[in-house]
């Protein structure tokens, strides 16, 4: 079950967490109580997650944080037997260009 994903960015440990409230949710990275990266999603149906947007703080850009957030969403979708559709152009491109995500893309 997805709880969190940890990795290092320039020798700083990062942890992707998940927050859900009803049909809405997010995968996020928090630093000093602030969300510095997030992927927001909506559970459109029990079997369909829609990625609404991704956002990464300027201080983290170029470090593949957005890709890590998408990977967390894909792992969660697989665990929950969900498919993913993206309204976010960035997430859509990453999903389409990553063959190992084909099993979750609608």
pLDDT surpassing 80 at residue 8 = no
pLDDT surpassing 50 at residue 1 = no
Query: Could you confirm whether domain 5-101 is CATH 3.40.630.30?
Result: yes
User: Could you tell me if 16 and 69 are in contact, meaning their C-beta atoms sit under 8 angstroms apart?
Assistant: yes
- In the predicted model, what is the mean pLDDT of residues 63-67? 95
- In the predicted model, what is the mean pLDDT of residues 35-49? 97
Q: Domain map of the chain by residue range?
A: 5-101
Given this model, what pLDDT does residue 98 score?
97
Q: What distance in Å separates the CA atoms of residue 75 and residue 47, rounded to the nearest whole number?
A: 14
């Amino acid at each position: 079950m997805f709880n969190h994903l940890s990795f290092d960015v320039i020798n700083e440990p990062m942890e992707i967490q998940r927050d859900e409230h009803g049909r809405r949710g997010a995968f996020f990275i928090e630093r000093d109580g602030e969300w510095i990266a997030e992927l927001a999603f909506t559970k459109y149906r029990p079997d369909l997650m829609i990625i609404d947007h991704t956002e990464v703080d300027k201080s983290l850009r170029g470090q593949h944080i957005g890709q890590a957030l998408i990977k967390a969403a894909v792992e969660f979708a697989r665990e929950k037997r969900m498919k993913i559709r993206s309204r976010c152009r960035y997430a859509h491109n990453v999903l389409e260009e990553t063959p190992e995500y084909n099993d979750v893309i609608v």
